Amino acid sequence: MQFRFLEILRKKFGIKIFSIFFFFFLTVSLSFTVFFYYYESASLTGELMQSNLLLARVLAYNSRIGVFSESEELLANPVDGYSSKRRLQEFPSTSWMDVRC
């Protein structure tokens, strides 16, 4: 009774064609799904990294006067603006303003 499907598969040509088409369609669909997922993941990761690099460059440019003058007031606005971004992955948790040469 368990092998009834295999017996039907051996005897009926229409079921053979249907099962071959079904497994081919399943293989192609899974292949495209995996490719699409990989491509989108790589694309979004690259976009996120480029966005964060741009934000880091903007922060470095906007805070250069505050760094050279060692003024915490001039550094507060650029750092607050940078840390309030939604898509920011990580921000240094140590206070880099406490580091003095």
pLDDT tens digits, one per residue of 44-59: 888 888 877 887 787 7
Predicted confidence at residue 72, as pLDDT, reads 74
For position 31, what pLDDT does the model report? Answer: 96
Domain positions in the chain = 38-90
Q: Is 96 helix (H, G, I), strand (E, B) or coil?
A: coil
Model-wide pTM > 0.85: no
Query: What's the confidence (pLDDT) of residue 10?
Result: 76
* Distances, alpha carbon 31 to alpha carbons 48, 62, 99, in Å: 26, 46, 52
Contact assessment for residue 75 and residue 63, using Cβ atoms and an 8 Å cutoff: yes
Confidence of residue 92 (pLDDT cuts 50, 70, 90): low
